[in-house]
Amino acid sequence: MAHGRLSFEVNRISSAPPETLFALETDGANWSQWSKPVIAQSSWDRQGDHEPGGLGAIRKVGLWPMFLREETVGYEQDRRHVYRFIGPFQPVRDYRAEVVFAPTPAGGTDLRWTASFRASSLPGVDLATLFLNRMIIRALAARLIRAAERINQQATTDQRSRL
């Protein structure tokens, strides 16, 4: 634990291109379409500058009445998305996550999802919180990849049928 922060990293490889994964991950209004049952409801509290999921965007995810609000604080089209928790309901303090989509030589994506948050002052809570957050991000990454690969497969099938 450095400077009172806990962090973790989830790495996955997808056959889908970075732009497909990026489009799904930054579309806050439609997270619940690909991430259920982890995220039951999703919507925009505010769309971002230049792009709906761009800088300043706030996506609302969860299940009524317990919604997390995640503000986009870093946005590089098809490459990188950074967000933080804001608002009154924050299960951890100073949560910040970064999702990086790196193209692979085969046309797929190396997905790296990192997150960090401030350690609790309550003994024994940190490891459980870290474990739970890592499990949630692992589940989201797996669902994100499955959705992107379905989209990619459908696009390939549609393209072949036009030939």
pLDDT in tens, 91-134: 788 999 999 999 999 999 999 999 999 877 776 778 888 999 99
Report which residue type is found at 155.
A
Asked if residue 44 belongs to a domain, the reply is yes
Asked if residue 27 belongs to a domain, the reply is yes
Strand order in the sheet with 41-46: 5-14, 109-118, 93-103, 80-86, 66-76, 58-63, 41-46
Q: Model confidence at 160, in pLDDT bands (50, 70, 90)?
A: low
For residues 119 and 21, give the distance between their C-alpha atoms in angstroms, rounded to a whole number: 30
Asked if residue 97 belongs to a domain, the reply is yes
pTM of the model: 0.90
Asked if residue 39 belongs to a domain, the reply is yes
Question: How is residue 19 written in tokens?
Answer: 């732009």
Asked if residue 163 belongs to a domain, the reply is no
Among 16-25, 43-52, 64-73, name the most confident range. Answer: 16-25
Asked if residue 110 belongs to a domain, the reply is yes
- Look at the chain and report how many structural domains it folds into: 1
Asked if residue 105 belongs to a domain, the reply is yes
Domain of residue 34, CATH code: 3.30.530.20
**What is the residue range of 148's domain?**
5-156
